[in-house]
Amino acid sequence: MSCASPLAWETLVDWWAGDLDEAAAAAVEEHVLGCDVCTVVASRVASTAEALRTMVPPVVGAEQLEALARAGVRIMENPIAPGQTCDFHFPRNADLAVHVLGGLVLGAGARVEVTLRSLATGQVFGHVEDAPVDTRRGAVYLACQRDYAQMDHDLVAEVRVGEDPPAQYTILHHF
Amino acid sequence: MHSEPDSAGRGRTLRPGRRVDAGVVARWYRRETMKAEASDAALLAGIALGGAGLREAERALCRRYAPRIRLYGLRHLRDEDRARDLVQTVLLAVLQAAREKRVREPEQLARFVLGTCRNAVLRVRELDRRAEPATDEVLVAAAGGEAPRDPVNAAVLLRCLGSLGHRARRVLELSFHEELESGEVATRLALTQGNVRVIRHRALAALRVCLDAPARAGA
- For each of the domains in chain A, give its residue range(s) and CATH number, in order of start: 9-54 (no CATH), 59-174 (2.60.40)
* pLDDT score of A18: 93
Q: Do B74 and A126 touch (CB under 8 A)?
A: no
Domain residue ranges in chain B: 1-149, 154-218
Q: Judge whether residue A99 has pLDDT over 70.
A: yes
Residues of chain B with Cβ-Cβ distance to A55 below 8 Å are: 152, 154, 157, 177
Q: What is the mean pLDDT of chain A?
A: 91
Name the residue among B149, B148, B130 with its Cα closest to residue B85.
B130
CA angle B15, B16, B17 (to 5 degrees): 115
Least confident residue range of A44-53, A54-63, B8-17, B49-58:
B8-17
What value does the mean pLDDT take over residues B168-177? 93
One of 3.30.43.10, 1.10.150.240, 1.10.3720.10, 1.10.10.10 is the CATH number of B154-218, namely: 1.10.10.10
Residues of A whose CB is below 8 A from B158: 58, 125-126, 148, 151
Q: What is the rounded CA–CA span in Å between residue A91 and residue A175?
A: 8
Q: How far is CA B82 from CA A171, B143, B172, in A?
A: 39, 11, 24
Shortest Cα–Cα distance, B180 to chain A (Å): 9
Q: What percent of chain B has pLDDT over 70?
A: 70
Q: Which of A52, A59, A60, A175 is the best residue to mutate to test the B interface, defined by the most B CB atoms within 10 Å of its own CB? A: A52
pLDDT at A31: 96
Whether residue A53 lies within 8 A of chain B, CB to CB, comes out as: yes
- Above 80 in pLDDT, residue B186? yes
Least confidently predicted of A12-16, A108-112, B84-88: A108-112
pLDDT, tens digit, 9 for 90 and up, residues B19-29 = 444 444 444 44
For position B127, what pLDDT does the model report?
A: 75
d(CA A159, CA A80): 12
Mean pLDDT, chain B, integer? 79
Average pLDDT in the B96-111 region? 91
